[in-house]
């Protein structure tokens, strides 16, 4: 995470707060909420990430 702050919530209910300068890993089964303007670099398997991105696009524009 380059800057800002985000909260990662897992399906178990556990939450993790990440701030600028943090390195984090999120296994499947999570959501991310930016708490303030944030700069985040994500590395994710392309096929799976595209499926998620399409789902989000559908929900946000539908």
pLDDT of residue 28: 84
| CA angle 44–6–30, rounded 5-degree value | 50
| Integer Cα distance of 43 and 35 in angstroms | 20
Q: Does pLDDT of 41 surpass 80?
A: yes
Model confidence pTM above 0.85: no
pLDDT of 62 > 80? The answer is: no
Average pLDDT, the chain: 89
Span 34-48, mean pLDDT? 87
Query: Could you tell me the end-to-end alpha-carbon distance of the chain, in angstroms, rounded to an integer?
Result: 30
Q: Is the pLDDT of residue 59 over 90?
A: no
* pLDDT for the residue numbered 11: 92
Half-sphere exposure of 25 (CA within 13 A, CB side): 1
- Give the span between the Cα atoms of 22 and 25, in whole angstroms: 10
């Amino acid at each position: 995470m380059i800057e800002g702050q985000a909260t990662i919530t897992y399906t178990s209910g556990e939450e993790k707060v990440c701030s600028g300068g943090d390195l984090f890993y999120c296994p499947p089964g999570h959501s991310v909420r930016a708490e303030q303007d944030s700069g985040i670099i994500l590395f994710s398997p392309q096929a799976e990430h595209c499926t998620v991105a399409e789902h989000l696009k559908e929900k946000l524009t539908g």
